[in-house]
Amino acid sequence: MSTTAMERPLAGGTTKARRRRVVGLGTLVAILVIAAAVSLAVGARALSPAEVWHGLFAAPDSDQRLTEIRLIVRTVRMPRTVLAIVAGIALGVGGALIQGYTRNPIADTGLLGVNSGASFAVVSVIAVFGVADPFQYVWFAFLGAAGSGVVVFGLASIGRGAGNPLTLALAGQGITVFLTAMTTAVALSDRASLNALRFWNAGSVAGVGFDVIWPVALFIAVGLVLALTTLPALNLLNLGDDVARGLGVNIALSRTVGIAAITLLAGAATAACGPIAFLGLMVAHVARYLTGPDHRWLVPYAGLLGAVVLLLCDIVGRLVVRPGELDAGVVVALLGAPFFAALVWLGKFKSA
Amino acid sequence: MNGTDVKRSVAPVTPGVRLGQVSFVWRPWLVCVTLLLAAATFLVFCLSIGVGDFPIGLSRVIATIVGGGERVDKFVIMDLRMPRALAGLVVGIALGVSGALTQSIARNPLASPDILGITGGAGAVSVFLVTVSGGTAAAVVSAVGLSTAALAGGLGTGLLVYFLAWRRGIDGFRLILIGISVSAMMEAITTWLLVTADIKDVARAQAWLVGSLDNRSWSEVRVALWCTLVLLAVVCCVAFQFKPMHLGDEVAAGLGVRYGMVRAVLLLCAVLLAAVGVSAAGPVPFVALVAPQVAMRLARCPTPPMVASGMVGALLLTGADLVARTALPITLPVGVVTAAIGGPFLVYLLVRANLR
């Protein structure tokens, strides 16, 4: 790659630091695997590791009890676990990217308007067509999220200051503000949408099947590929537009690709789970603390951290208010926020 | 070397005005914009008072406000419509100035008092009181009123954020991150309460969460008015010390500003102003976020101007209330309308600035 020489100072240089980062990445993967296993075992009916194994891999047989376990693991726990991982990765990577592209350490994936666009689409569809089935409004949510993302980015790229990070952040806020108001207006005049909105807003990884998860995962995969291709350019963009241009970065192109990636990631995750606030913002800061400013490390760390946190929060949500459940989005804020605040207080974070 | 010498050594690029200890940069355009905004606000304020089931002409409204007018007009205006209109004006100014202070201190255009936890805390407390039907909650509401309880919740959360962020002084970045996390917790609690509550209560809570100016009484408005006036006076006294802080902590300290103290006082004022706004109108969102950014762009200033931000806030809220009452087929809370007007207007200003 032609930019290697320029990236060396950012990467921290020494092989020791690199080895530490690789070990960290491996540790995160290991934690994720363990958390996924726990997620399959924990719930209204606790399963032993052997039972989980059987439920996943054994061929169907006549035993009534084992068939039941198979059903629980494959149709309830498995989709939930996969969605938590996929959505967690998407939100984590999205959070790290949007903070990088806006150069604003308090930017969150919701900033592009994707959450508010999705919410607005959901309440509108319910109010106008009376759709009540979550399986149907997932697609409208995705359309809404993508639509508002495109509008925000489009508005921020008109004219001279095209793609200016500050303009992007403020345009995102302006559109978010507007769409949230419209959502409230619809919800207040239509009780069915208000009812759906309050559940949708909590952000949950439960209750969605693989028929929804696979297409969502496909969008997220495309988003991840786009995200990975922009990382070297993003590093250079953070040195300032002029420096980046001087080093041969096509600024407009790399911003467009980056924003498209964020829209796909956050939009797809929001469509499947509802808006899960704070997760992307939090893990982006933790990842930056662990890896330093090099986005080629920061972004994968943020993705894995996002998956781990969302998965653990979903597990906790299943355990604390039994026989009921706390939505993962609520647990993320209730558990993640104090943890994050403690790290902030200890002075672990620098502004991006 | 005393303070005056230091100040003189950094001559402002734009011509300055000096009155004893007080000095400021003379910006004719900013003054013009502020005066125009004030005039527009007054006009909308009078219009808003005149419009209703018993319409009153503009000249009669102004005559009554300045002290004259007929008896009927006096009754309708001063007793029935004035509290609501005045509440809009006061809350708008309070939120606008609060937003300008927060964004200046944090040096981040996304910062607003909402981020300091006030809206989140007030929302969580009031949704709790609305949705949890029980002896204690009902007793609290009947004893102190929902808006006072919300004020206490907002103020408490704001102070909690402030003290959590305190670590040998207040750092803008740390304050915002702590504020975001505490707000996220409060919003999660609100969400959880809404998920578990009865749908009838949810509608009431949701309407409160958006902010409204309905049914204001003189007693409520009077409290908000006096609190705002006192706080604005404090801000005025301290704000002159604040100017150099845009240059960064080190420079400000070098210029002889006790920046830790100044920032603490201004931040406290921002929290209190926002809390006053919340107590009078509910957590009207976005005004504090949008008003300073709009004022900054209209006045072509590098940082949010305080007075102009307050004026934009007042104009936005008063105008939104007028629209909410008259132009729409269904009655909506004023917060919905402020967002519907303020958000796009901010975007318009951004796009226009890019096209110029």
Which ipTM was obtained for this model? 0.81
How many CB atoms neighbour CB A63 within 10 A? 12
Residue B343 to residue A174, Cβ atoms within 8 A: yes
- The average confidence (pLDDT) of chain A is 84
Q: What is the pLDDT of residue B135?
A: 63
Question: What pLDDT shows up at residue B97?
Answer: 93
Res A306: pLDDT: 96
Asked if A164 reaches chain B (Cβ–Cβ under 8 Å), the answer is: yes
Which tops the pLDDT comparison, B275 or A4? B275
Rounded mean pLDDT, A310-325: 88
What pLDDT does A11 receive?
Answer: 47
Q: Taking CB atoms and an 8 Å limit, are B289 and A177 in contact across chains?
A: yes
Per-residue confidence (pLDDT) for residue B9, from 0 to 100? 40
In chain A, the residue whose alpha carbon lies closest to the alpha carbon of B332 is A185
In B, which residues are within 8 Å of A182 by CB distance?
336, 340
Taking the Cβ of residue B292 and every Cβ of chain A, the question of whether any pair is shorter than 8 Å is answered with no
**Average pLDDT value for residue range A57-85:** 82
A259, exposed or middle or buried, with CB in 10 Å at 0-12, 13-18, 19+?
Answer: buried
Query: How many whole angstroms separate alpha carbon A217 and alpha carbon A90?
Result: 9
- Identify the closest residue of chain B to A196 by CA–CA distance: B195
Q: Do the chains contact at B180 and A105, CB–CB below 8 Å?
A: no
Within 8 A of B355 by CB-CB distance, chain A residues are 158-160
Q: Is A181's CB within 8 Å of B336's CB?
A: yes
Name the pTM for this structure: 0.83
Across the A:B interface, residue pairs with CB atoms under 8 Å apart total 179
Give the pLDDT confidence score for residue B5 in this predicted structure.
37
Q: Looking at CA atoms only, how far is residue B71 from chain A in angstroms? A: 39
Q: Which residues in chain B touch residue A340, judged by CB atoms under 8 angstroms apart?
A: 177, 181
- Confirm or reject contact between B168 and chain A (CB < 8 A): no
Chain A, 91-110: which have a CB under 8 Å from a chain B CB?
A: 104-107
**B320 closest CA partner among B346, B338, B308, B347:** B338
Answer whether B176 sits within 8 Å of A338, measured CB to CB.
Answer: no
Q: Which of residues 29-88 of A touch B (CB under 8 A)?
A: none
Q: Which residue of B has its CA nearest to A175?
A: B343
Q: Tokens 């990631």 — which residue?
A: A265
| Model confidence band, residue A34 (pLDDT cutoffs 50, 70, 90) | very high
* Structure tokens, A201: 């807003």
Amino acid at B190: T
CB-nearest to A333 from B187, B206, B210 is B187
DSSP-H helix ranges across B107-198: 118-131, 135-144, 146-164, 172-196
Q: CB distance B354–A333 less than 8 Å?
A: no
As given in the structure block, the two tokens for residue A253 are: 């192109």
Check CB contact of A289 with chain B, cutoff 8 Å: no
pLDDT given for residue A300 in this prediction: 94
Structure tokens at A192: 């069915």
Which of A122-136, A202-216, A219-233 shows the lowest mean pLDDT across its residues?
A122-136
User: Looking at CA atoms only, how far is residue B203 from chain A in angstroms?
Assistant: 7
Query: What is the C-alpha separation between B257 and B261, in angstroms, rounded?
Result: 9
CB contact under 8 A, A104 and B110: yes
Mutant choice from B181, B193, B209 vs A, greatest count of A C-beta within 10 A: B181
Nearest CA-CA distance, residue B148 and chain A, Å: 24
pLDDT value at position B255? 62
Mutation pick from A184, A186, A197 vs chain B, by most beta carbons of B within 10 Å, is A184
CA B79, distance to chain mean position in Å, is: 25
Of A159, A181, A333, the CB nearest to B339: A181
pLDDT by residue for chain B (356 residues), tens only, comes to: 333 333 344 444 555 666 665 556 667 888 888 899 999 998 988 888 888 777 777 788 887 777 777 777 777 777 778 888 898 999 999 999 999 998 888 777 778 887 888 888 888 888 888 887 666 666 776 667 777 888 888 889 988 988 888 877 777 778 888 888 999 899 899 988 888 888 888 877 877 777 777 777 787 788 889 999 999 999 888 877 666 555 666 666 666 666 677 778 888 888 889 888 888 887 787 888 889 989 988 888 888 888 899 999 999 999 988 888 887 777 778 888 888 888 888 888 888 877 77
Q: Residues A186-198: what's their mean pLDDT?
A: 83
- For residue B24, what pLDDT is reported? 62
Are B339 and A180 a contacting pair, CB within 8 Å? yes
3 state SS for B51-83:
CCCCCCCHHHHHHHHCCCCCHHHHHHHHHHHHH
Cβ separation A332–B335 shorter than 8 A: no
Q: How confident is the model at residue A6 (pLDDT cuts 50, 70, 90)?
A: very low
Tokens encoding B310: 């307050």
Question: Which pair of tokens denotes residue A133?
Answer: 């089935």
CA A67 to chain centre: 34
Show residues of chain B in contact with A338, CB under 8 Å: 181, 185
CA distances from residue B263 to A282, B135, B170 in whole angstroms, order as listed = 26, 42, 8
Identify which of B189, B344, B353 has the shortest CB distance to residue A178. Answer: B344
What pLDDT, on the 0 to 100 scale, is given for residue A279?
A: 93
